[in-house]
A and B are shown apart, each in its own frame.
Chain A
């Protein structure tokens, strides 16, 4: 398999769209459910804490500059344990890929085309993902580059055209949330926004042409993504009100429905839906690509491309069974996913980092010891 390399600018754009991902659709409702009108404070704290998470990921990635995350697992933890942790990680990414296909299906079904089965959307979307995975990461990065300006343009248009609807009473009183509800909303926000960024370690050390500027790009992309999300949460609270936001499944879509400029420019929400379809495309692709490439690397198969179609067929099936209904999905995303992702995206890198540091120290100590031993041996000989 020839090596594919993307530029650091493309990497920044992928990070930006990836960190927005599904969060743009589901985060406002789940986070306002706990912290009410203070959700935007929780989200801002979450973005700041995410920088620490990114620091952890980058420190780990810089320890093994020639390997991606799956290979690093095997290198650091040894063949057997490394394979186990890598497989657990891939199960997480694969389930998430199925879940995202479920999201796009259920979003289109509930809001746009109520009589079409979700399987139709999952099928069309997964064909797109499979094709992108077949063409590889370079083509994907270029497609992200094309989608990026459109995304920014639509986002700015969205923000400007919704501002007349703002009522500031919705956000008062400030700082009323309890500590526990604040903790829950920060955990939910980070579990969807920043924990999954570890998937980008499949690209970062090996697949990027200039590594220092890609490091900066990771921070910039995540911060910009965080700003977009915080803006959206603030707008949902200001326009829809905290209770209304919390009770809706897709608050940002409801927000777009409220756009009305001079009773003339109305019902443009489906143009706004371009934003989340783009960001979900980027995220689903990254999850799917990680799973396929990771599986090929674990099983030591040279080319990952033959595995794309069977994995795609499984992921279509998975999207149909992964959540029986929307209540199941809300419960899972609010209660279980933060813990599940915390274990494999935060604790696993910390474990890897500790093992690497200990190993490096040992090898350094050995290097220091060996010459001394030799001299001692020499002395004995003499």
Chain B
């Protein structure tokens, strides 16, 4: 719980430091991408800190490539 709050505070500090800088440069696209990525990162890390089970992204890749792998394995036997 403490860790999750700490992550949130760090994310807010990062946002407060960087977004005014980007605003000065008039780079709207960069602000949108920056906020989006920061949001994902904060959510992910808070989920980990609160010990919520998040499935590994590699499981999806394993799921996609397992048929190809099985085909190749059957080929070599």
Name A's B-contacting residues (CB within 8 A).
95, 99, 119, 179-180, 183-184, 295, 299-303, 306-307, 309-314, 316-318, 320-324, 328, 331-332, 335-336, 339-340
Is B22 in contact with chain A by the CB < 8 A criterion?
yes
Q: Which of B14, B29, B57 contacts A301 (CB 8 A)?
A: B29
Q: Which residue of B lies closest to A180 (CB)?
A: B76
- Given the complex of chains A and B, what is the CA–CA distance between A299 and B36 in angstroms? 13
Query: B65 and A307: CB pair below 8 A?
Result: no
Question: Could you tell me if A309 and B18 are in contact, using CB atoms closer than 8 angstroms?
Answer: yes
Query: B70's closest neighbor in chain A, by CB?
Result: A335
The number of chain B residues with a CB under 8 A from chain A is: 33
B44 touches A317 (CB 8 A): yes
Contact A322 B58 (CB under 8 A): yes
Residues of chain A with a CB closer than 8 A to B11's CB: 313
Check: B4 CB closer than 8 A to any chain A CB: no
Contact B65 A310 (CB under 8 A): no
Say which residue of B33, B55, B58 sits within 8 Å of A332 (CB atoms): B58
Q: Which residues B32-77 have CB closer than 8 A to chain A?
A: 33-34, 37-38, 40-42, 44-45, 47-48, 54-58, 61-62, 65-66, 68-69, 72, 76-77
Q: Complex Cα distance A247/B25, Å? A: 55
- A332–B62 CB distance below 8 A: yes
User: Can you list 21 A-B pairs with a CB-CB distance of less than 8 A?
Assistant: A299-B33, A303-B30, A307-B37, A309-B38, A310-B41, A313-B11, A313-B14, A314-B37, A317-B41, A320-B48, A321-B44, A322-B56, A322-B57, A323-B56, A324-B56, A328-B56, A328-B58, A332-B62, A339-B69, A339-B72, A340-B65
A180 to B42, Cβ gap below 8 A? no
Number of residue pairs A-B, CB distance < 8 angstroms? 95
Across the interface, name the chain A residue whose C-beta is closest to B66. Answer: A336
A-side binding surface: helix, strand, loop or mixed? helix
Partner-A contacts on B (CB < 8 A)? 11, 14, 18, 21-22, 27, 29-30, 33-34, 37-38, 40-42, 44-45, 47-48, 54-58, 61-62, 65-66, 68-69, 72, 76-77
Closest to B22 in A: A306
CA distance in complex: A184, B72 (Å): 10
Q: Please state if A95 and B58 are interface contacts (CB–CB under 8 Å).
A: yes
Residue of A whose beta carbon sits closest to that of B10: A313
Within 8 Å CB of A306, what residues of B? 18, 21-22, 30, 34
Contact present for A316 and B45 (CB under 8 Å): yes
Residues of A within 8 A of B54 (CB): 321
Task: Please give, as numbers and ranges, the residues of chain B lying within 8 Å of A340 by CB-CB distance.
Answer: 61, 65
Q: A310-B38, A311-B37, A332-B58 are in contact. Are A180 and B45 (CB under 8 A)?
A: no
Find out whether the CB atom of A300 lies under 8 angstroms from the CB atom of B65: no
B69–A335 CB distance below 8 A: yes
CB–CB A310/B34 < 8 A:
yes
Question: How far, in Å, is B38 (CB) from chain A's closest CB?
Answer: 4
CB closest chain-B residue, reference A315: B41
A314 to B69 alpha-carbon distance, docked (Å): 29
List residues of chain A with CB within 8 A of the CB of B27: 301-303
Asked whether B58 lies within 8 Å of A317 as measured between CB atoms, the reply is no
Q: B14: which A residues are within 8 A, CB to CB?
A: 309-310, 313
> Do A317 and B57 touch across chains, with their CB atoms under 8 A apart?
no
* Complex: A320 Cα to B68 Cα, angstroms: 28
- Which residues does chain B contribute within 8 Å of A318, judged by CB atoms? 44, 57
Identify the interface centre among A309, A310, A322: most chain B CB within 10 Å of its CB.
Answer: A310
